[in-house]
Chain A
Amino acid sequence: KNQVEQSPQSLIILEGKNCTLQCNYTVSPFSNLRWYKQDTGRGPVSLTIMTFSENTKSNGRYTATLDADTKQSSLHITASQLSDSASYICVVTPRSTTSGTYKYIFGTGTRLKVLA
């Protein structure tokens, strides 16, 4: 069964500190892996996207890594800011065998709280 698990479920850190969020998936074969940030009461916003052949992608203070062999990904946030407080969702897209499907498989999410 295609699953995406994230850890930790929630995390509290002090402003300025770094943190790393984990994502493990069983989706195979997969096409690409995305990390999204979702503010409370808003839709998800894309942070990074990686294909199965890429192993790192950066977007400002966000750096995602991917190990396709172990089926693990991480999102590293550097020098956290109060505005980083949000849910972070790992999303995996299976390599579709039928055209037009392109369904996303969502992780359980990590709720990050950054304190002043």
Chain B
Amino acid sequence: GAVVSQHPSWVICKSGTSVKIECRSLDFQATTMFWYRQFPKQSLMLMATSNEGSKATYEQGVEKDKFLINHASLTLSTLTVTSAHPEDSSFYICSARKTSGHYNEQFFGPGTRLTVL
């Protein structure tokens, strides 16, 4: 199998606080994980690519100092939203890349709903 979990599934925080979201590949090792953000009725937008043991690669327009990514092990990547503001409220989804045969498949987590008050 290829199961990816996220924790927490939802979080509500006050403006100005920091929130950490965890993404775990439960039954496989993932050297690469991806973080996405999804606004209502829109598709997923890639924020950054997380590589185990090295710095994340951020997409254009994504502030790396605001969205801190740490991929400390082959099964865990974390996204920390620093000094969160209401406009950061969104659905955050991670995926983990697994090589299977000749496919490189991304398996998605269930998502984390962040609401900033």
Contacts and interface: CB of A to CB of B under 8 A. Distances in A.
Contact of B110 (A36, A42, A89, A100): A42
A41 B110 CA distance: 8
With a 10 A CB-CB cut-off, give which of B6, B93, B108 has the most chain A CB atoms: B108
B115 to A, nearest CB: 13
Interface residues of A, number: 20
Query: Chain B interface: which size bin?
Result: 20 to 34
A86 to B, nearest CB: 13
Contact of B105 (A49, A100, A108): A49
Contacts of B108: 36, 43-45
Interface in B56-110: 91, 93, 95, 97, 103-110
Nearest to A42: B110
Interface of B: 4, 6, 32, 34, 41-46, 49, 51, 91, 93, 95, 97, 103-111, 113
